[in-house]
Amino acid sequence: MAQYETVRRAGAGVGVEATQIHAGLRAHMNKVYGLMGVAMFITGIVAYFVGTDLALAKAGQPTMIFSVGMLETMFTSPVRYVIMFAPLAVVFGFGAMINKMSLGTAQMVFWAFSALMGLSISWIFAVYTGMSIAQIFFVTAIAFASLSIWGYTTKKDISGWGSFLIMGVVGLIVAMVVNIFLQSPAIMFAINAIGVLIFAGLTAYDTQNIKNTYLAHAHHGDNEWLGKSAIMGALSLYLNFLNMFMMLLSLFGNRE
């Protein structure tokens, strides 16, 4: 009887611990999606106001925030390449330095990066119709949510996708840089079509990876590490969403 009570209490203890871990996982995933949502909001606000000014300048109308000269410098001079590639440099630098940052600093860098990304994609508001941007965003949101939910709930181990998908991203970056000089519509179409599939796969893969990483480290109780892990998870999902959106917009968006 005493042995039975010991086993029963041990089982109860395991059950309580499992419940706590699952509750912690839900809170962690909510934080990841919350950080991503705030970053998307910052990106959208910056992109909208800068892009609207650019559209007004192109139409010969008075701008709201930036002068015409500043907009010309940002989008028609070599500065545009700095704006284009700066977010990529920040991503690599952020990934390499985050362990040396405090949690607060890491979060501020993430917000700054999202603003920089908004500046980088702001031209879409001067090229595509507002309705087209809204429709493609809605479609991307549905696809992203479906893929992320599948990645979170599936029992299938998709960790093997990682190396293949990362190689695909590297290939896309190389192709995009080459096409800056070639300006080939066919290459651009292929980049966007393949890119949508790659970032769709990465959405499911990254969601499962965020979940598994939390489960592997939850018992350590290192809140600082878990906080940074949430930021990096939010960054990964943010990039997947944004890249899918931009590529779908390029494929199906209606131009002004």
Rounded average pLDDT over 172-194: 92
DSSP β-bridge partners for residue 128: 255
Look at residue 222 and tell me whether its pLDDT is greater than 90: no
C-alpha 214/C-alpha 23 separation (Å) is 12
Predicted TM-score (pTM) of this structure: 0.89
Q: Which domain holds residue 150?
A: 2-252
Encoding tokens for residue 65? 């925030």
pLDDT tier at 2, thresholds 50, 70, 90: very low
pLDDT of residue 79: 85
C-alpha 77/C-alpha 70 separation (Å) is 10
pLDDT of residue 18: 65
Give the whole-number percent of the chain exceeding pLDDT 90: 61
Rounded average pLDDT over 120-138: 94
Instruction: Give me the number of domains the chain comprises.
Output: 1
- How far the first Cα of the chain sits from its last, in Å, is 79
Look at residue 244 and tell me whether its pLDDT is greater than 80: yes
pLDDT of residue 12: 44
Condensed to tens digits (0 to 9), the pLDDT of residues 31-58 reads 999 999 999 999 999 999 999 999 998 8
**Average pLDDT of every residue of the chain:** 88
C-alpha 21/C-alpha 177 separation (Å) is 44
C-alpha 148/C-alpha 155 separation (Å) is 13
